Amino acid sequence: MSAAQQAPLVALRGLTVAYGDDAPALSAIDLDIRAGERLALIGESGSGKSTLALAFADLLPASAKTAGTIEWEGTSPLGGRDIGFVFQNPAGSLDPVMAVGRQVAEVARTHLGLSWPDALARACDLFGRVGLPDPDTLVHAFPHQLSGGQKQRVALAAAIAARPKLLIADEATSALDTIVQAEIVALIRRLAAEDGMTLLFVSHDIALAAELADRIAVLRGGRLMELGPTRQVIGRPQNSYTRSLIAAHIGLDSPPLFAAANMSAPANG
Amino acid sequence: MRRRFLQTPEAVAGTAILVLLAAMALAAPLLFPGDPLRIAGPALTPPFQDWALPLGTDRLGRDVLAELFHGARTSLVVGLAAAAASLAVGAVIGTLAGFAGGLADEALMRLTDAFQTVPGFLLALAFVSIVGPSLSVVVAAIALSAWTGPARIARAEVLSIRERDFVAGARVVGMHPLEIAFREVLPNALPPVLALSSIIVAQAILIEAALSFLGLGDPNRVTWGGMVAEGRTVLRTAPFLSIVPGIALVVTVLGVYLAGEGAVEGAAVRKGLS
Amino acid sequence: MTRTLRLVRRRLVGSVFVLLIVVVGSFLMLQAAPGDAVDAYVVSMGGDAGLVESLRHAWGLDQSAWTRLANYLWALLHLDLGWSVTFSRPIRDVVLERLPNTLLLMGSATALSFFLGSALGIVAGARPGSLRDRLLSTGSLALYAVPSFWLALVLVIVFAVDLRWLPIAGIETIASSKTGLARVTDIAWHLVLPISALGFIYLALYLRMMRAGMAEVWRQDFVLAARARGLPRRRIVLAHVARNALLPLVTMLGLQSAQMLGGSVVIESVFSVPGLGRLAQEAVAGRDTPLLLGIILVSAVTVVLINLAVDIAYALLDPRVGAGEVA
Amino acid sequence: MGKHLLTVESLSKRFHSGGRAVAAADALSFHIDAAETLALAGPSGSGKSTVARLLLRLIEPDAGSIAFEGDDWLALQGNALRARRARMQMVFQDPLAAFNPRATVARVLDDPLRIRRIAPRSERPARIAELLERVGLSPNLAGRTVHEVSGGQRQRVAIARAIATKPSLIVLDEAVSALDVSVRGKILELLADLQRTDGIAYLFISHDLGLVRAFAHRVAILDGGRLTEEGDARAVIDAPRSAVGKALVAATPRLHRLTGQDAS
């Protein structure tokens, strides 16, 4: 756990975000992301987890009112160059009328100062790295010609095209089916390890977060409930809300919750 | 709802213009009783010379201000009637095509294509010249080409709403297809069609004006388009006679657009809030 | 490219039916007209009842409407549009003589309105809600409210009558023996006002569509994704937002062609441009039913061909068109 | 026929897109007994939702037969079909999309009572209140539009609508996948409760094997429109035999895999 000793890559201090006159989406969040770690941000709908992810990448809508500070190690970061961002909806995050290779290449062109041919060549390499088959052909394909999983791989290629320090995955796998989700999570884990990227993984799925992350932050109603190493948050949760989340989780390793209902059913087969 | 509708300054301006026009149209027979086409004074009296004839007279000595007021009646009547007719026809044909599907849909859509392929103004021109110019013929001529837009939108809406889960839900509950059509699909399909109404009213006013300008308007009524054409013969000496009714047209059509946009935005705000 | 070819084939098949409906429909409508070409002939040329009878027989007007429709369709298959009484010439020749002028007027006005309109629309849509945006969109709405014939007259008063910069009417200087480039310049000079009158009104339409389309695209996820990737704002606006918002404008280009043809009737009449629109007005004045029918038909064919071109352009711009085969 | 509540034999449906035919259901055969939960699991595109829509006659199959409550379900048409629909209901994944955007909660529940003539007009408000209470909602909710209530409440309204006509089978098409974990458990509890008291059978369509294992008696795993594996839910998921079954189980995240704890 070398990550634990390093200085924070990002330090949030008292971050508060409100949209319009509604109750704040985030209230006074203090949170450090350590360089090289995999941090999972979990919470149910309305917990503010996506707002927090967007705040890191300076993507909040202009109407959002923010207070508090986000401090970065060194200079202030540039979206795309220092932070890669992958969104939930793989179909929505790609321009429908631009070839996918160009959409990856334009990131490399913008941040690495490459010419178009060089940027396209880099897109081709990246397609290979994210496990897309036949990269030379696929760079010319359009989003509608790809499956959901393939689109998310393209989005990942675009996110890491400029070798960012931090990769933010905002529910990046929840629109995919179980098998594809597992593949994309494995890919994110591999890419982060190979490039030494810090990972912020935002999810509503506590089990998925537990499998991937070094540390877990639990959000509820815009407040940070609990933050700690995965083993501790899952194994010995301190916060009652975290405990209730874990109790509510129904997984393969959970006991059948409705045994009584099942028992009373007529036996068959 | 009304408060939201009047939120933008543009919507307020548009509504004010329309209220003023309606007042003009209604007040015309009271303020200027008798035939506005009769001779009221010496020909080509310039404006602001004679207080009895504030905007002067035209080439034949007719009172320009009286003509302007009575012309508002024609424009508004034609605009509203043509829009109502084309929205009704378009909504019915589009909805039928959307629900019927198959061959009937194909046939209705080719018919719509045919009406969209013939330039609308040419069709109106031919129709009026054949049947003879009168107010109702002009309205019919305009509606003849204006119904295709509402028809296409109504069909597209019906087709998309038919595939939505809540329609499947109504079928699962055992709702009769007619009830599904009239209670589930139509009320949700019509608002986008109605959103077109301001554009159709505005276009109808402009087409009527153009027909009148070419001498194909109702000869027994004052029309702004006819006034512009009338003034054209003395364009060099009295450009005022063509300019004034033209400005009336611009202001009217602008009022319709602005009020229409206000209504659509108001509806969007309402949707967004709920 | 097979995708585009498939689309063209499907559109062509549909167009045949559409044109058939247009022919039959306008033929039936014009049949309802009181009086026919013979009446028109007699009114202008004079003649007695015997002449009327013989002319009716000679022109086949004594046959039933259905027989005449069949005859008309048969003649159409041989590209024969009939005989114009007013011009004493084959309708095909009269119409084809006027068509190029109208196409020139329409094409130039379309280019003006489309390119300038969408460019201004991008300027307005680049920052939705800004002062620039509000000014441009309200200004364009005002422009869109202007009747084209009136705009034409105002342009004439200002630029031809008062300032004397441009010619009042016609398509070229009468009885000039200009040839080559000099003639082209002369025609262009004459068309400046008509093109402006026709084009500026539709410019407002394209501006508004572009702006509204961009406002919608701005809200889409891929624009947020483009921002997250740190692309320069200029590239986001042009390569992503405007590029996607352009697609409905291209569709509108096809729909608008019929309206432009209709609008040219009034403009050609104001500026005395010898085009199809003015011909239609002359046909109406002369009660020349077959000529009017011919003009409607040629206009419809023109609109069909323009729409075909627009469809091909659209298929090239939008990779999703006609692509249902990829899962 | 008649032995099971629902018997599906060789059900097939192809969709045509861009000149290519894709089999969404390929000779599927399965059955459901009264008061039993059969789960349909499989990756996306395996045809799960198509099966739901075929059973509910929202789309028509190309081939195959469906026997429901002893009748040839596919032979029913028009009024006869609408009347019998009362016995087979559905709950959709997205409760917002499943209701007319203009409807109030009361209208959503009034429709089945009125259409199937379950209660005269005067009694319906009381029946609606009763239904709301059965699904754990306050009768005060009746006047709200469906947009004004929370996602979990909306899904409860959907369940109330489904049970209004006293069905013997409810198709649950990913009915809890869009809900938060804390809400999800309570909705499943409610469904299990209804099964116990009213003997309702469920076709539980889900991509989440954890939910399937906890909620269903039996599971059928679909892949590319074909049935690859079927059996007791726990037995199949604990030791899948088909390749898809194995892949699905392996891909399902486990909360305690890393911590090494076993909650059971």
- Report the CATH number at residue C281: 1.10.3720.10
The more confidently predicted of residues A244 and C58 is A244
Pair D136, D152: CB distance under 8 Å: no
Phi first, then psi: give them for residue B263, nearest 5 degrees: -65, -45
Q: Give the A window 231-260 contacts with D, CB below 8 Å.
A: 231, 234-235, 244-246, 248-258, 260
Q: Average pLDDT in the C253-272 region? A: 90
Q: How far is C23 from chain B (nearest CA, A)?
A: 9
Tens digits of per-residue pLDDT, C186-241? 888 889 999 999 999 899 999 999 999 999 999 999 999 999 999 999 999 999 99
Q: Cβ of D192 and A211 within 8 Å?
A: no
| pLDDT over 60 at D201, yes or no | yes
Q: Cβ of D97 and B187 within 8 Å?
A: no
- Residues with Cβ within 8 Å of D8's Cβ and at least 6 positions away in sequence, in order, are D28, D29, D30, D31, D55, D64, D65, D66, D67
Please tell me if residue C110 touches chain B, with a CB cutoff of 8 Å: no
Tens digits of per-residue pLDDT, A5-59? 567 899 999 999 998 887 889 999 999 999 999 999 999 988 999 999 999 999 9
Provide the pLDDT for residue D264.
Answer: 37
Touch of A by B (3+ CB pairs closer than 8 Å)? no
Mean pLDDT for chain C overall:
87
With 0-12 / 13-18 / 19 or more C-beta atoms within 10 angstroms meaning exposed / middle / buried, residue B13 is middle
The more confidently predicted of residues B40 and B168 is B168
Question: Looking at the domain assignment, is residue C167 inside a domain?
Answer: yes
Task: Considering only the beta carbons, identify the residue of C221, C243, C326 that sits closest to A93.
Answer: C221
The more confidently predicted of residues C132 and A2 is C132
Mean pLDDT for chain B overall:
87
Tokens for C190? 């004459």
Substitution target in C198, C266, C289 with the highest count of B β-carbons within 10 Å is C266
Q: Which residues pair with A18 in a beta bridge?
A: A65
Question: Looking at the domain assignment, is residue C205 inside a domain?
Answer: yes
Pair A32, A11: CB distance under 8 Å: yes
Q: CA gyration radius for chain B?
A: 22
Q: Average pLDDT in the C19-40 region? A: 78
- Residues with Cβ within 8 Å of A114's Cβ and at least 6 positions away in sequence, in order, are A105, A108, A122
| pLDDT over 70 at D260, yes or no | no
Provide the pLDDT for residue C134.
Answer: 87
Provide the pLDDT for residue B223.
Answer: 92
Chain D residues closer than 8 Å to C5 by CB: none
Chain D residues closer than 8 Å to A234 by CB: 255-256, 258-259, 261
Provide the pLDDT for residue C67.
Answer: 84
C80 and C226 share a domain?
no
Please tell me if residue B140 touches chain C, with a CB cutoff of 8 Å: no
Helix, coil or strand: residue C167: coil
Query: Residue D108: which pLDDT band, with cuts at 50, 70 and 90?
Result: very high
Q: Cβ of B111 and C259 within 8 Å?
A: no
Q: Which residues of A43-78 are buried (b: 16+ CB within 10 A; e: fewer)?
A: bbebbbbbbbbbbbbbbbeeebebebebebeeeebe
Q: Average pLDDT in the D96-110 region? A: 92
Q: Cβ of D253 and A205 within 8 Å?
A: yes
How far is C173 from C169, CA to CA, in rounded Å? 9
Chain D residues closer than 8 Å to B175 by CB: 82, 111, 115
Please tell me if residue C324 touches chain D, with a CB cutoff of 8 Å: yes
Query: Residue A261: which pLDDT band, with cuts at 50, 70 and 90?
Result: very low
DSSP state of D10: E
Please tell me if residue D198 touches chain A, with a CB cutoff of 8 Å: no
Q: Average pLDDT in the B173-188 region? A: 92
Tens digits of per-residue pLDDT, B208-250? 999 999 999 888 888 999 999 888 888 888 888 889 999 999 9
| pLDDT over 50 at A262, yes or no | no
| Beta carbon pairs, A and C, within 8 Å | 81
Q: Cβ of C324 and D17 within 8 Å?
A: yes
| pLDDT over 50 at B272, yes or no | no
Q: Give the C window 202-241 contacts with A, CB below 8 Å.
A: 220-222, 224-232, 235, 239-240
Tens digits of per-residue pLDDT, C136-184? 988 898 899 999 999 999 998 888 888 888 887 777 877 677 778 888 8
Tens digits of per-residue pLDDT, D38-70? 999 999 888 999 999 999 999 999 999 999 999
Tens digits of per-residue pLDDT, A29-44? 999 999 999 999 999 9
| pLDDT over 70 at A2, yes or no | no
Please tell me if residue A117 touches chain C, with a CB cutoff of 8 Å: no
| pLDDT over 60 at A260, yes or no | no
Question: Looking at the domain assignment, is residue C31 inside a domain?
Answer: yes
How far is D62 from D16, CA to CA, in rounded Å? 12
The more confidently predicted of residues B119 and B51 is B119
Q: Give the C window 231-270 contacts with B, CB below 8 Å.
A: 255, 258-263, 265-266, 269
Tokens for B149? 């837009």
Pick the CATH number of B2-44+53-273 from 3.30.390.10, 3.40.1380.20, 2.30.30.280, 1.10.3720.10: 1.10.3720.10
Query: Residue C321: which pLDDT band, with cuts at 50, 70 and 90?
Result: confident
Q: Cβ of C319 and A142 within 8 Å?
A: yes
Q: Residue C49 belongs to what domain range?
A: 2-86
Please tell me if residue C319 touches chain D, with a CB cutoff of 8 Å: no
Q: How far is A71 from chain C (nearest CA, A)?
A: 18
Chain C residues closer than 8 Å to A144 by CB: 319-320, 323, 326
**DSSP states of C8-44 as a string?**
HHHHHHHHHHHHHHHHHHHHHHHHTSSS-HHHHHHHH
Q: Average pLDDT in the C95-114 region? A: 94
Mean pLDDT for chain D overall:
91
Query: Residue A214: which pLDDT band, with cuts at 50, 70 and 90?
Result: very high
How far is C277 from C269, CA to CA, in rounded Å? 7
Nearest CA in chain B to C306: B117
Provide the pLDDT for residue D259.
Answer: 52
Q: CA gyration radius for chain A?
A: 20
Pick the CATH number of D35-56+169-259 from 3.40.50.720, 3.40.630.10, 1.10.760.10, 3.40.50.300: 3.40.50.300
Chain B residues closer than 8 Å to C300 by CB: 114, 117-118
C234 and C130 share a domain?
yes
**Least confident segment among A141-155, B85-99, C160-174:** C160-174
Q: How far is C201 from chain B (nearest CA, A)?
A: 12
How far is A123 from A102, CA to CA, in rounded Å? 8
Nearest CA in chain D to A244: D182
Q: Average pLDDT in the C106-126 region? A: 94
Please tell me if residue C134 touches chain A, with a CB cutoff of 8 Å: no
| pLDDT over 90 at D256, yes or no | no
Tens digits of per-residue pLDDT, A105-117? 999 999 999 999 9
Q: Average pLDDT in the A68-97 region? A: 89
All CATH 3.40.50.300 domain ranges of chain D, comma separated, are 35-56+169-259
Provide the pLDDT for residue B195.
Answer: 87
With 0-12 / 13-18 / 19 or more C-beta atoms within 10 angstroms meaning exposed / middle / buried, residue C162 is exposed
C121 and C148 share a domain?
yes
Mean pLDDT for chain A overall:
89
DSSP state of B48: T
Neighbours of chain B (3+ CB pairs under 8 A): C, D
Please tell me if residue C284 touches chain A, with a CB cutoff of 8 Å: no
Please tell me if residue B210 touches chain C, with a CB cutoff of 8 Å: yes
Tokens for C119? 């460019």
Provide the pLDDT for residue D199.
Answer: 93
Chain A residues closer than 8 Å to C225 by CB: 85, 87, 92-94, 155, 158
Q: Average pLDDT in the B113-139 region? A: 91
| pLDDT over 80 at C93, yes or no | yes
Substitution target in A252, A257, A264 with the highest count of D β-carbons within 10 Å is A252
Provide the pLDDT for residue B220.
Answer: 87
C8 and C102 share a domain?
no
Question: Looking at the domain assignment, is residue C92 inside a domain?
Answer: no
Percent of chain A with pLDDT over 70: 93
**pTM score:** 0.87
Percent of chain D with pLDDT over 90: 81
Provide the pLDDT for residue A79.
Answer: 82
Q: How far is B230 from chain C (nearest CA, A)?
A: 12
Number of separate domains in chain C: 2
Substitution target in C86, C216, C284 with the highest count of B β-carbons within 10 Å is C284
Neighbours of chain D (3+ CB pairs under 8 A): A, B, C
Closest CA to C122 of C211, C236, C224: C211
Tokens for C69? 């429709």
Chain A residues closer than 8 Å to C235 by CB: 106, 110
Q: Average pLDDT in the D125-139 region? A: 95
| pLDDT over 50 at D208, yes or no | yes
Residues of D with CB under 8 A from a CB of C: 17-20, 22, 45
